[in-house]
Amino acid sequence: AVVCRRTAGEGGNLKRKTSGAKKTILLTGGTGFLGSCLLRELIGAHSVILLKRSFSDVGRIADLMPLLRIYDIDRDAWQRVFS
């Protein structure tokens, strides 16, 4: 199995490229392979809101879930996500 090289909270190269201001990122597809790797890059440097389906397999990001705001797009109202 191929896995990302980053661990929770490392932040990767994105931390060095920002101006120091922590941004809020809205991410979809974060439970898939590419999305979970991107999430690992973003989580240390930014605040991430993850939109996923209620039945998505969260195995790849289980260690990151306490660090995220997560919404199930098939169950939560859109107003809740953007409030």
Three-state SS for 32?
coil
Do 39 and 57 form a contact (C-beta atoms < 8 A)? Answer: no
**pLDDT digit string, tens, across residues 1-57:** 445 665 555 555 544 555 678 899 999 999 999 999 999 999 989 999 999 999 999
The pTM (predicted TM-score) of the whole model is 0.73
Give the CA distances from residue 48 to residues 2, 58, 77, in Å, rounded to whole numbers and listed in that order: 24, 15, 18
Query: Which residue(s) pair with 52 in the sheet?
Result: 72
Task: Indicate if the pLDDT at residue 73 is higher than 60.
Answer: yes
Is residue 78 within a helix (H) or strand (E), and if so which, with residue range?
helix 78-81
